Structure 1
Amino acid sequence: MTAHLSRRSLLGLAGAGAGAYLLSACSGDEKSSDPNAPQTINWWHIQNTEPMLPVWAAMANEYKTAHSNVTFTIQPLENEAFKAKLTTATQAGDPPDLFQSWGGGVLKQQVDAGLVKDLTDDLKDLVGGILPAAMQPYTIDGKIYGIPFDIGMVGFWYNKDLFTQAGITEPPTTWAGLLQAVGKLKTAGITPVAIAGKDKWPAHFYWSYLAMRIGGVGALQKAVDDKNFDTPELAAAGERLKELVDLQPFQKGFLGAEYGSPDGQAATMGNGKAAMELMGQWAPAVQGSSSTSKKGIGDKLGFFPFPAVDGGKGTATEVFGGGNGFAVGKDAPAATIDFLKFLLSVDNQRRSAKTGAVLPTVKEATDAISDPNNKVVAETLAKNTGFQLYLDQAYAPALGQQINDSVAEIIAGKKAPAAILKDITQVAKTV
């Protein structure tokens, strides 16, 4: 895939505790090519909280009931735990049979190592019904190595009541306006922004978006192509981010906060303890599952795109984000691909969409988007004029991790914006 995607319309186009769930037992040759042989599908995913955790479990049970020779070992994992465990498994050459993938540079590395199946022929009929741009991160050198079940974008989720209390009548449309809103919230005694400083990846959203707004959607792609991130546009992105950091907008203890833990970023928003978070389309669902009430803030929640930067080449219609999907391990049993088709059926995509945690990728299922906030995200996507995949997935893993680490240093006040560009460039030259 390419890191920079162009998406002109949506139709041209996801936690806390986890464990391993064994759905009955089986014996026999699990890797047999015979579709009727006893098979166990080892499935890892990151939908480890309500509402999707029970939905995935139910779908596996339904499939198992209809296929008596198939059983499942399911491991729902928190995002960072998943990445760490998958890295260990792939380095050992033993990937799970079915596993979460965001596509991009990480998937390409797995492809190059021969760890995942080429799904081009097996899923050609299914692919025809999927939003084309959603497939791009999973298409490498013209072949398909994964299937997306969700597509969306990162933007600001905000508490309408807290904005009103601070005298903010409209969501900001410029970076200067956002900084002014932060000032008003602080004056009103309200925590402006929730962030998961420990997890790092949420912080890279800010720097990435600022780079796009200042340099245009192609600035980040040019940096990786040139193996040079030490550019005026990216330096300016860091300086703008430092403007926000200097206002001390984040919740108390943010540097130790995780995203989905009971006292983390999503819970801070879901419990009404902060006014904003910059997060993807799954935010309302995770806010709800992480909150004390398990419901979040309901109709108090709103969404607005990342603001424009005065004088920048980019526009607020260029979006940053991606989707969630699945790849199939090299030694997966024969039933794995059939089960993947089952997960991506129109009916099951509609079931997923109705939870509010998934924006479906199957064209016929997009009519099931009922959550008002998801509708806003879909409408914003439909108007986009450019798209950038999450950098920690678009790029080679080492480069993506360095960006996360470097942006975290700005957030923590440990390193100047200009200094991180030299660190990132150094890694870019080695991948």
Structure 2
Amino acid sequence: MPDTAPSSLSRRRFLGVVSVAGLGTAVLTSCGSSDSGGKDSQGRTVVEWWHIQTTEPSKHLWPQQAKAYEKAHPKVKIKLVPLENDAFKSKMTALVGTGKLPDLYNTWGGGVLKQQVDAGLTEDITDQVKDWIGELVPASRKAYEFDGRTYAVPVDIGAVGFWYNKALFKQAEIAVPPTTWAEFLDAVKKLKAAGITPIALAGKEKWPGMYYWAYLAIRIAGVDGMQKAADAKDFSGDDFVKAGEHLKELVDLQPFQKGFLGAAYPGPTGEAATMGNAKAAMELMGQWAPNTQKSEGKGIGSDLGFFPFPAVDGGKGKSTDVFGGGGGYALRKGGPQEALDFLKWFVGPESDSRLVREGGMIPVNTKARDALTDPNLKAVSDLLNAATAFQLYLDQAFPPAVGQEVNDSVAALIAGSKSPQEVARSITQVAKSQ
């Protein structure tokens, strides 16, 4: 969940293509309900807001901010609809077929948002935000801009990297975090030799495993190579096969926790809890990881550290090329002005400072930078500030079908049912079909 999405990928319209069969009636009626964008019994304009903040502290911070806004703007009612990440994606995909999305909805930008734009479902907010969007960090805005027009407002920006347990590293006699892939594999071997599970992974959800293949591909092919493959709809080249081969090297070491293929990201037995309860030494995850570890597990406090994804010897990519992204909110086509007014307030200096201080977020408003004090989040922020290139999450940068195939194929490689060559071929086949 970068700010440079491929621009010449397939932009087919998909309004009405997705079947809504099997989607619960409650879900369909909650979106675009009679009071959404209209008035409630008290005469307030209702803004329906779909978000994915389901873990602490954001789980309570988001409603608190909505209440604070309502108090200052008594003619507006913010109707929150919180959804877990995968449930949100599934329901949003189905709702596209109905032709109407929530007033405000979470987006990671890239190809998924572009298809919603092309389908005529998302409002062009360029003119409405021009007087204040300049306050936001430039890198945070790019994933939501197409052909010089703006379609969403960022609320978060970050990068994926390795979160690690310093105490477990010390126990395994690993003096410093690895900086190359060879050193990383050596660290995994040392952790296993010390009786420590090297890596926590949510194999059930697929997207956490995609991070490994994506970063390896970026390190080997470079961000430019990823862009060229996306433009050509061809990921069958040697660089992408090598990415799979390096990932298979890791998988063959059996580095993940017991039962990882059935593990979710949240939950008492999920990836975040495994890491947060010191049951594994590392996880490859975004900037939200520390808070989720504490929410789902106990958290490991000062033992938690962060290091960038290692370089790959001979690769075209730089160790300072970053993979990640952020979250933003888009306005449905024809959505109420009150929704955008709320969003302006939500990313304003005062609100954003609170999100940074209490929500563990990296500031998107330049006037909220002083609120960032957490050393690990500062490390992520430093990584972003020093980035030589930035690649958006592949399951968001690419059209939905391609992104899903990346997730599925990489999950199959990790499970041992697909070879590196088959992964590259499968992604290419789906890309060419779009």
- TM-score, with normalisation over the residues of structure 2? 0.91
Q: How many angstroms apart in 2 are the aligned matches of 1:314 and 1:58? A: 42
What residue is the counterpart of 1:59 in the other structure?
65
Deviation at 1:185, TM superposition (A): 0.5
RMSD between superposed Cα atoms in Å? 1.8
- SS state of the match for residue 250, structure 1? coil
Summarize deviations over 1:63-104 as a string: whole Å, max 9, x none.
112222221221111111111111122221121111111000
What residue is the counterpart of 2:304 in the other structure?
301
Pick from 253, 257, 260: which aligns with 1:251?
A: 257
Note if contact 2:273-2:296 (Cα within 8 Å) is conserved in structure 1. yes
Shift in alpha-carbon separation, 1:113–1:288, aligned structure 2, 3 A: same
Q: Is 1:126 matched with 2:145?
A: no
Which aligned pairs between 1:270-349 and structure 2 lie closer than 5 A?
270-291=276-297, 293=298, 296-349=299-352
Which aligned pairs between 1:192-271 and structure 2 lie closer than 5 A?
192-271=198-277
Deviation at 1:355, TM superposition (A): 2.3
Unaligned runs of 5+ in 1: 6-19, 21-26
Deviation at 1:205, TM superposition (A): 0.6
What residue is the counterpart of 1:375 in the other structure?
378
Q: How many angstroms apart in 2 are the aligned matches of 1:214 and 1:49? A: 34
Q: How many angstroms apart in 2 are the aligned matches of 1:37 and 1:113? A: 32
Deviation at 1:356, TM superposition (A): 5.0
Deviates more, 1:330-339 or 1:366-375: 330-339
- TM-score, with normalisation over the residues of structure 1? 0.91
Deviation at 1:132, TM superposition (A): 1.0
Q: How many angstroms apart in 2 are the aligned matches of 1:297 and 1:106? A: 35
Pick from 186, 190, 209: which aligns with 2:192?
A: 186
Deviation at 1:4, TM superposition (A): 5.9
Summarize deviations over 1:5-39 as a string: whole Å, max 9, x none.
9xxxxxxxxxxxxxx9xxxxxx9965459xx9631
- SS state of the match for residue 324, structure 2? strand
Q: Is 1:96 matched with 2:102?
A: yes
Report the residue type matching 1:39 in the other structure. T
Q: How many angstroms apart in 1 are the aligned matches of 2:70 and 2:96? A: 27
- SS state of the match for residue 332, structure 1? coil
Q: How many angstroms apart in 2 are the aligned matches of 1:357 and 1:401? A: 29
- SS state of the match for residue 101, structure 2? coil
What residue is the counterpart of 1:150 in the other structure?
156
Q: How many angstroms apart in 2 are the aligned matches of 1:372 and 1:2? A: 27
Q: Aligned pairs, how many?
A: 406
Report the residue type matching 1:167 in the other structure. E
Q: Is 1:409 matched with 2:409?
A: no
Identity of aligned residues (%): 56
What residue is the counterpart of 2:387 in the other structure?
384
- SS state of the match for residue 48, structure 1? coil
What residue is the counterpart of 1:426 in the other structure?
429
Deviation at 1:268, TM superposition (A): 0.5
Note if contact 2:4-2:390 (Cα within 8 Å) is conserved in structure 1. no
More helix by share: 2
What residue is the counterpart of 1:77 in the other structure?
83
Shift in alpha-carbon separation, 1:29–1:380, aligned structure 2, 3 A: closer
Shift in alpha-carbon separation, 1:30–1:197, aligned structure 2, 3 A: closer
- SS state of the match for residue 72, structure 1? strand
Q: How many angstroms apart in 1 are the aligned matches of 2:284 and 2:49? A: 29
Q: Is 1:167 matched with 2:173?
A: yes
- SS state of the match for residue 380, structure 1? helix
Summarize deviations over 1:125-146 as a string: whole Å, max 9, x none.
2211111121110001211000
Report the residue type matching 2:93 in the other structure. T
Report the residue type matching 1:47 in the other structure. Q
Shift in alpha-carbon separation, 1:76–1:32, aligned structure 2, 3 A: closer
What residue is the counterpart of 1:352 in the other structure?
355
Pick from 106, 109, 118: which aligns with 2:112?
A: 106
Report the residue type matching 2:302 in the other structure. D
